[in-house]
Amino acid sequence: MAVAVVNIIYWLASLSFIVGLKQMSHPKTARKGNNFMFIGMMAAILVTIILPYQSLNGNLVWILGGVISGSLIGLKLAQKVQMTEMPQLVSLFNGFGGLGALVIAFIELSNFSIPIMGAGIRYFVLLMTLVVGSIAFSGSMGAFLKLHGKWKDKRSLSKKYLAHFFLLTCGILIFVMVLGELNNRLIISVLCISAGAYGIFFVGNIGGGDMPVVISFLNSITGISSALAGLIFDSQIMLISGILVGASGTVLTIIMCLAMNRSIKQVFLGGPISKSKKNSSEEIDKVVQEIGYSDLAMLLAFSKNVIIVPGYGMAVAKAQKVCKQIEDQIRSNHVDLKYAIHPVAGRMPGHMNVLLAEANVSYDKLMDLEEANEEFKNTDVALVIGANDVINPAATNSEDSPIYGMPVLRVWDAKNVIVLKRSLSTGYAGVENPLFNMENTKLLFGDAKDTLVKVCDELKSCI
């Protein structure tokens, strides 16, 4: 009877995950979907703890202690984290999910007896759980350090080859251990360390501009590690939830790769090492045109169509709410304003969407890449706030550029392009941007939030 009850609740919890994911595909139902999945997960956890109570042998206090302390830590983090730090938080969550699978696999391997008739497949699954969990943990911690600015973004061939070496080492060790029926704690530790080293060098050799792809990839392998752990314990709920996370993360990784003109192979093996070539001396010697606060305010107030292009600079400056204020001001003057969102703008998928939603920007005003590129042709002003690589025309016309072929927002098709930047430094990809030298482009230097506040003040006298 107890087993039937557990299975029914697991089935209902799995259904809540699927329904919740569907609801999270649209901002209007995302919160509801998140709550729906939370209820399903809590039900699955509670039934897992409560129903087999007799077999816990006094460990219930430890289990509940872990659940409660972990929940309190998560709640505290969620309350304190800034929206600009959300990518770091996601990386931490990914990492701890991988660490959980790693610990489970290591303990099970330590107690595993070989040879056992028919145990080869189970042994292989345990080893794969150990490897994938270790990669997810170390890679996510590396991504966290990079996103937090604690790990400098320096790529090299040595990191690339070391990543390949440790990945190959993992493959050889698994092959030898399964076929040779070896279950030695020292070898298991070497396998775990090799997988962790691969995760570190894999992330270490990927540029900061590729972080959205990395986060999606690490999210997918964390789900895979959970699914493998579900196979170990014959847990339907772990298997289903892991598959959902792994599948959605994989699909998102593919979408991100297409958006950045990268292949899955390049990401998986640590990315190519290519140096951006400098623009011609003619382009570098050109003096950029600047614009003042009042001129920008006048231009925005008396345009018909304006498109704001947000980037990570907007997130760092926390300027999304000021963008909304500008939107409200110029709308009162019958100006049509929309937002163009590049799939990999920011440091994680959907980063800009979340920030703008926090500022109560209507989801209907957000345009994706293809729609925005059509709209730019009829736009009076394209206002770029802290974006760089995703608006670089070199991606379309410079075959020597490392980002050539990457789909970008064609802001230069607008009549006027205004770029808000702190300086003329390159973006996260380290590539020069010839957009800044174009005749229809003007720059306004400074902190994005401070700049937009001053533009807001100027707009009051224009409207």
Residue 234: active-site member: no
| Cis, peptide link before residue 272, omega less than 30° from 0 | no
- Cα dist. 253→40, 46, 201, 265 in Å? 26, 32, 19, 12
SS3 per-residue string spanning 217-283: HHHHHHHHHHHHHHHHHCCHHHHHHHHHHHHHHHHHHHHHHHHCCCCHHHHHCCCCCCCCCCCCHHH
Among residues 210, 389, 400, 447, which one is catalytic?
389
Over its C-alpha atoms, the chain yields an Rg (Å, rounded) of 25
Give DSSP secondary structure letters for 303-343. Answer: -SEEEEEE-HHHHHHT-HHHHHHHHHHHHTTT-EEEEE--T
φ and ψ of 367, to 5 deg: -115, 145
Amino acid type, 439 = E
Amino acid type, 310 = P
Instruction: Record the tokens describing residue 266, joined without a space.
Output: 């390049």
What secondary structure letter does DSSP report for 133? H
Q: Are 373 and 348 in contact, with CB atoms under 8 Å apart?
A: no
Give DSSP secondary structure letters for 166-182. Answer: HHHHHHHHHHHHHHTT-
Q: Are 401 and 440 in contact, with CB atoms under 8 Å apart?
A: no
Q: Max alpha carbon distance in the chain (Å)?
A: 83
Question: Residue 136: helix, strand or coil by DSSP?
Answer: helix
Selection from 110, 205, 109 nearest residue 157 by Cα: 205
CB atoms within 10 A of CB 68: 10
Q: Are 357 and 363 in contact, with CB atoms under 8 Å apart?
A: yes
Angle at 43 between CA 38 and CA 46, to 5 degrees: 120
The whole-angstrom separation of Cα 153 and Cα 150 is 9
Which residues carry out catalysis? Answer: 389
